Amino acid sequence: MRLNILTRLIAGYFIVLLGSSLISGFIIYKLRDFSVETNRILILENRIQEYSRKLTDALLSQVRYEKKYFLLKDSLLYDQFLLAKGEFLQNLMEARALPIGPQEKTLLGEIALQHEQHEALVEKGLRSKPRLFRSELDSLNKEKEETVNAIIRHLEALKEISQQNNLRRFRELGEAQEASLQFIIYIGAAALGLIVMISWIITRSITRPIGLLVDKTREMGEGRYPGDLKIKSPPEVARLNRAFNDMCDRLNKIDKMKSDFFSIMSHELRTPLTSIREGTNLLLEGVGGDLKEKQKKLLGIISEESNRLIELVNSLLDLAKMEAGMMPFHFSRMDFSPVITITAQLMEPLLASKKISLKLDYPDTGPAVRVDNERIMQVIKNLLANAIRFSLEGGTIQVSLKNRGGFLEIAVHDQGPGIPPDQLKHIFEKFRQVELPGGLSSKGTGLGLAIVKQIITAHGGKVWAESEIGKGSSFFFTLPLD
């Protein structure tokens, strides 16, 4: 089952929204992790630094009160000593409970041992006789000072190791952040590419069948009715496609009926028209007796109109055969310049009747092309007759021939009133008559240019026209040189 346009758009927007939400959620999750880790490092560093400071202060306070008590024997000083000792041990216990590394734990253990040794030395001094020998006292003080210095060194080492570990953690965090940023960029680029691809596929699945329908509709405007349009599309466009094919089938049938009608009628009309023409000619030759001048004039009109009708019937038959692909073409390679020259000579009576000069702009010997001589002469005749019909008396018609990249381009320029731009694309359609500026009529059958297009297409070339109101028209056709 094919999804309709609304469902496709909803699915596409849902995928885009889901992808954007997942990427945004992943980025927020990563940023939260980095924020939590950064805060943890900063808090841990500050707490270790704070405990190092508190332990140092408590130790120095303990040493200071211990010395004063030893000299003054004041119980208040001893209480302060015990308070500083308790503060040191409390801070030491809290510091050892922090989530620290093995080096920090080892240092804190060494500090605890050194502090126990220091306390033992202090107790030894306090429990000793009131008066010690000078040498014993100096030795005891020296041991206590060494333990205090050792504790302070360990605290300084603890601070330094903590700072190094934190720097290492920040460096690792920065590297992880950079790697995550690259990963986010890659994921974002991939997601963006996926979103663009999905959007393109959905849009293409809608616009492509519509574009094909537009192209086929344009072909219908040019008189072709292709009914074989088979495209994969949403249900709405599929229904339009089926309706379009049905319409093309009906138009093809109507067009065939019309062509068959004209073909049959033309064939049936040609025989009686030929009889009328021949009978008229016999009467004009005096076979039925002498004719008065007025009778000859009327018979002349009948003969002229019969010839015109026969020419129209022949054009209809030729066009019907060409459209049906039944017109035989006899191709041969020949020099093209003489073809134009001979055709132009055949048109001299028409040129002379309107005092129009014909300018031939090409060399005497032109390139050789593969053409049907009779049909190409018919093309040039039709284009020259068209130019003569629309040119004013005393005007000029120019025929040029140029080699343009593998094609021979032939152009017929006139100085007529020009063709309105909105009619240029329709002038090669059968039965199409141009409405000239000022409401004038072309007074033609509308078959000449249609026959020209059929013949040139059969030769593998193209035909088109360019015009500007008040400055004449130019008709071009090309023939392949290969």
CA dihedral 317, 318, 324, 325 (to 10 degrees): 150
**pTM of this structure:** 0.48
pLDDT of res. 54:
87
CA dihedral 108, 112, 117, 118 (to 10 degrees): 90
pLDDT of res. 131:
53
Complete DSSP assignment for 258-323: HHHHHHHHHHHHHHHHHHHHHHHHHHHTTTTS---HHHHHHHHHHHHHHHHHHHHHHHHHHHHHHH
pLDDT of res. 223:
61
Per residue in 396-406, pLDDT (tens digit) is 999 998 888 88
Listed range (44-53, 64-73, 77-86, 348-357) with the worst mean pLDDT = 44-53
Q: How many Cβ atoms are within 10 Å of 337's Cβ, its own excluded? A: 17
Q: What is the CATH number of domain 235-324?
A: 1.10.287.130
Query: Is the CB of residue 241 less than 8 Å from the CB of residue 305?
Result: no
Per residue in 359-375, pLDDT (tens digit) is 988 877 767 899 999 99
Arithmetic mean of pLDDT over the chain: 79
Arithmetic mean of pLDDT, 38-67:
80
Per residue in 178-196, pLDDT (tens digit) is 777 777 787 777 777 877 8
Nearest to 395 by CA among 349, 351, 340: 351
Q: Phi/psi at 463 (nearest 5 deg)?
A: -135, 140
Q: Which of 242-256, 319-333, 407-421 has the highest mean pLDDT?
A: 407-421
Complete DSSP assignment for 374-403: HHHHHHHHHHHHHHHHHSPTT-EEEEEEEE
Arithmetic mean of pLDDT, 100-127:
82
Q: What is the CATH number of domain 332-480?
A: 3.30.565.10
**Considering the chain, what percentage of its residues have pLDDT values greater than 90?**
12
Confidence band (pLDDT; 50, 70, 90) for 288?
A: low
Confidence band (pLDDT; 50, 70, 90) for 157?
A: confident
Confidence band (pLDDT; 50, 70, 90) for 315?
A: confident
Domain with CATH 3.30.565.10 in the chain: 332-480
Strand bridging mode 396-404 / 368-371: unpaired
Domain with CATH 1.20.120.1730 in the chain: 5-198
Query: Is the CB of residue 359 less than 8 Å from the CB of residue 391?
Result: no
Q: How far apart are CA 94 and CA 65, in angstroms?
A: 23
Arithmetic mean of pLDDT, 8-30:
73
Helix (H) or strand (E) holding 44: helix 5-72
Q: Which fold has domain 5-198?
A: Four Helix Bundle (Hemerythrin (Met), subunit A) (1.20.120)
Nearest to 462 by CA among 386, 353, 377, 379: 379
Q: How far apart are CA 138 and CA 129, in angstroms?
A: 15
pLDDT of res. 130:
52
Q: How far apart are CA 256 and CA 259, in angstroms?
A: 5
Q: Which of 157-161, 269-273, 388-392, 459-463 has the highest mean pLDDT?
A: 459-463
pLDDT of res. 377:
92
pLDDT of res. 40:
65
Q: Does the pLDDT at position 411 exceed 70?
A: yes
Arithmetic mean of pLDDT, 107-123:
85
pLDDT of res. 37:
66
pLDDT of res. 75:
83
pLDDT of res. 148:
86
What's the full length of the chain, in residues? Answer: 482
Arithmetic mean of pLDDT, 26-36:
70
Sign of CA dihedral 168, 170, 176, 178: negative
Is 93 exposed, middle or buried, given 0-12, 13-18 or 19+ CB atoms closer than 10 A?
exposed
Q: How far apart are CA 367 and CA 354, in angstroms?
A: 32
Arithmetic mean of pLDDT, 27-33:
71
Domain with CATH 1.10.287.130 in the chain: 235-324
Per residue in 440-477, pLDDT (tens digit) is 455 566 788 888 999 999 999 999 999 988 888 999 99
